[in-house]
Chain A
Amino acid sequence: MNRARASAVVGATRRATDTLIIAIAVLLLWQGLARVAGSTALAGPGPTLTYFMHFVPSQRFAVNALSTTLTFGWALIIAYGLGLAIGVWMGAHRLSGAVGEPILITLYSIPKITLYPVILLIFGLTVSGKVAFGAIHGILPVALLTMAAIRNIPPVYLKSARALHLSPWQTIVKVLLPATLPEVVAGLRIGFTVTLFGVLLSEMFASQHGLGFLIVNDMALLQTEEMISIAVVLFVFAAVANALLLWIERRMHRRV
């Protein structure tokens, strides 16, 4: 192993250890907090781990996790689909972009939860309602970032495409797509996190299934072990997905 590789490995190990140290500090804090709040309000790390071990393989977890996953999957497809479509349209069509951007930004800043009752009224207490609520969270960041990505394509790329006599299809596939990919992936990454958040929220209020429902149920019954176990699962899921999308984003950046 040459010098540079060796030091890179040392650096990565050190970072991993540091991150681990922070995790341990959080665990200690948690233990302390559990003492202060009492075991009914907050279970300590030990009991929670025990619960986690037999909860995750259980039927109860599997059924609800599946429900959430399905809802989330649909919401994500709609959020990505509509978001990309709107983003591409507003990015490519100058006037629509100029008119629409402030509207999108204002919509982005409105707490979607205020629209939740409206969604419930429209869709009733159905899965479609949860999918819709999740989707409206994700559409906007995807649209905004896609729009920005297309707007920021250096004009010289387009001029080069014309000078090289590329067809419109070739221009899109070989020039526009690679040029915008990193920023679009950034939008997809943010869209992922907020859509998940929206789906969980929807399950917390008017649902009988799903991880969000379990959480709100646990809050009422003060079942903190289960609550935190679910939080850990969600955290790991989000962390892995985020890391994956971030890795893709960085790979795209290096090529651009």
Chain B
Amino acid sequence: MAAADAAHASLSGVTRVFPGTAGHPPVHALGPIDFELKRGEFFAVVGPSGCGKSTLLELIAGLQRPTEGTVAFEGRPVSGEVPDGIGVVFQEDASFPWLTVYDNAAFGVRQNGVAAEEVRRRVDDALAFMGLKDFARAYPAQLSGGMRQRVCIARTLVLQPHLILLDEPFGALDAQTRLLMGDEVLRLWRRTGATVLLITHALDEAAMLSDRIGAMSARPGRFMDIIETGWPRERDSTIVSEAAFGDITGRLWENLRGESLKSLGISDRAVE
């Protein structure tokens, strides 16, 4: 098995069931899923709310354990601990309000005992790349929501991860900022050569940014379809004007319309 063909991350027969608590029955959130993430690709997962997309991301990251099946990253099983080489950006603002932007970015790499010289180089690099150089001494409380997310991304960048997981990172931002952040993520992807897994509920965002898109069903989440976009690597948000873009979003919606209604509790037939 050549290294280039080997999956970067994979799930085999994975299901995730949340055990019941006092007064709540168990929840079958995800699976069974068999899925392989190719090295260097940009993969997006779209699906209705509550379908288990974030659970999928957290399983790959090692933040949750599968109820059945195995999760592997770079050939080794993932179990309960976040493996080295994975970076995660969350939907909520995870910037540390008590640290400056610079210290926020440097946080992860300072834990690992990297030399001070190297820390400075990596942080300056990441901040410059994310356009935060002028704000290095500022505190997150002084920045906008979009900039705080960029701080979180910079913090992840500094770790030089092989796999970057993004859990609806732009959910809390306004529409215009989201489109611009999409371009940023593409730049990030090309620059680092990392594999990127993006969770989003926005069809246009998924269609615009990814090499492959997984359309997930309503709970329990399973992949109904995996669409290949065939976009060139050097792309940006101007892709939206391509004809193929409309086809792709159309196909996604075809897959997801019924599932979205299901997750809202409305039967497909009932809508007229």
| Chain A residues within 8 Å of B, Cβ to Cβ | 3-4, 7-8, 10-11
Contacts and interface: CB of A to CB of B under 8 A. Distances in A.
B22 interface: yes
Nearest to B23: A7
Contacts of B22: 7, 10-11
Nearest to B25: A3
Interface of chain A, main secondary structure: helix
A11 B23 CA distance: 9
Majority SS at the chain B contact face: loop
Contacts of B23: 3-4, 7-8, 11
A8 B23 CA distance: 7
Contacts of A3: 23
B136 to A, nearest CB: 36
Contacts of A4: 23
B78 to A, nearest CB: 34
A113 to B, nearest CB: 37
A209 B177 CA distance: 72
A210 to B, nearest CB: 47
Given A8-B23, A10-B22, 6 more contacts: A3-B23, A4-B23, A7-B22, A7-B23, A11-B22, A11-B23
8 contacts: A3-B23, A4-B23, A7-B22, A7-B23, A8-B23, A10-B22, A11-B22, A11-B23
Nearest to A10: B22
A144 B23 CA distance: 40
Nearest to A7: B23
Interface in B106-157: none
A7 B23 CA distance: 5
Contacts of A7: 22-23
Contacts of A11: 22-23
A7 B24 CA distance: 9
A240 to B, nearest CB: 28
B108 to A, nearest CB: 39
A33 to B, nearest CB: 37
A3 B24 CA distance: 9
A7 B21 CA distance: 9
Interface string B13-24: 000000000110
Nearest to A4: B23
A102 B150 CA distance: 39
Interface in B1-30: 22-23
- 3 closest A-B pairs by beta carbon, nearest first, are A7-B23, A7-B22, A4-B23
A10 B23 CA distance: 10
A10 B24 CA distance: 13
